[in-house]
Amino acid sequence: MPAFTAATVLSPRGAIDRGVLLVDGGTVVSADPAAAYVQDSARSAAAIVDFGRAVIAPGYFDLHIHGGGGFDVMDDDADALPAIERLLARHGVTSYLPTTVTAPLDTTLRALERLAGAIEAREMDRTKMRGALTGRPTSRESFAGRAQPLGIHLEGPFISHARRGVHPPQDLLPPTISTLERLWQAARGRIRMMTIAPELDGAIELIAAAVERGVCVSLGHSDADFETTERAIAAGARHSTHTFNAMRPLGHRDPGIIGSLLTNDLVTADLIADGIHLDPAIVKLIAHTKGREKTVVITDAISATGKPDGRYHLGSMEVEVKGGRCESGGKLAGSVLTMDAAVRNLAKFAGWELSEAVATASRNPALVLGSNNKGVLAPGADADFLVLDCEGRVLRTFAGGMECLS
């Protein structure tokens, strides 16, 4: 039963000075001040790893990521997800939703089948790990040092032609229950988030159907007006995809979708804090409007992440990357942002403390999906945690209590 200590431990109760994180197997047992820890003889017998002046924080959870390390999550390549997941872990992400981009329906269905298989393999691995605690043999080598996919984010095909960004127009589809059912079956029920434009014919009905299946419906790639967005929220939509980007602009007499998303307290909002997709002042606007509990940072990272400038792909599209800017046909096409950089940027742009920015990448995205065992260092939660320096750079990453060394 190892214990980890550092100058600060970020717990649900707040920042603990000289805290101690106790882990048993892959689960958090406690996060307490050192003084309370040493008074408990059962716990004080554990071996302690001291990270000195560092910060122990919950592992990050990226709700929107298309790829990295030269690979796309939709690639039909056995090396794709392992490479992406190792890159994610190096930048503090321990959980993520592989995110599709609009493609021919058959291509999307095949990708969903592959992603569902990867998710199931990780779930089986976790079951084996729990079995190891009771003496049953197990192996974890194949998944060591990697972030874990916890479901799929379906971005497209139910989005607006007017606000599609770089999504191929010929592959956009009207929102119908029958198409959702095909996607759902291919993903074997692993779709956890779906981005949809609420103004499309049939969208409100589809939102309600998706919510019934336990999907977090996120509004985005949309030209909706204020009233239509409010109807979508009433139908069960609860999140906003890369807020401001690929949306009808905010007007002082025509607030549109952004006006609804920013002012409706039922909605959480994610954003890309790379300084390219949004001016820092707009990042601050979103953060201060939605607040510390409803703001979520994402990366929207593509295959070029972690690679030098050049030509890469997002789904079937070619993307040119130069100076951190990703473009296809003159339009922004995802990012090369990493989550640790996003957290640091948010803290800087919004004027927040590091601990507050960390929550937007850990606790808040987990709560968006209703995951109580991710994103927090609380008793019973998964032992996914990071060791950060005082400026938020990742020093070490632990997933399920095991260090990610790759």
Catalytic residues, by residue number, are: 300
SS3 sequence, 121-188?
A: HHHHHHHHHHHHCCCCCCCCHHHCCCCEECCEEEECCCCCCCCCCCCCHHHCCCCCHHHHHHHHHHCC
**Phi, then psi, of 251 in degrees rounded to 5:** -120, 150
SS3 sequence, 195-248?
A: EECCCCCCHHHHHHHHHHCCCEEEECCECCCHHHHHHHHHCCCCEECCCCCCEC
Output the six-digit token pair for 220: 């985005």
Output the six-digit token pair for 301: 């990272």
Hey, how many other C-beta atoms are within 10 angstroms of the C-beta on 94? 30
Listed residue (204, 118, 113, 107) closest to 157, CA to CA: 107
* Residue matched to tokens 């999550």: 73
Decide if 102 contacts 66 (C-beta within 8 A).
Answer: no
Decide if 102 contacts 315 (C-beta within 8 A).
Answer: yes
Does residue 279 sit in helix, strand or coil? coil
Task: Write the DSSP symbol of residue 335.
Answer: B
Task: Write the DSSP symbol of residue 250.
Answer: P
Decide if 374 contacts 26 (C-beta within 8 A).
Answer: no
How many Å apart are CA 202 and CA 79, to the nearest integer? 38
* Residue matched to tokens 């792909």: 313
How many Å apart are CA 314 and CA 166, to the nearest integer? 9
Output the six-digit token pair for 235: 């139908």
Chain centroid, CA 334 distance in Å: 14
Amino acid at site 300: D
Torsion angle (degrees, nearest 10) of CA 393, 2, 403, 76: -120
Task: Write the DSSP symbol of residue 59.
Answer: P
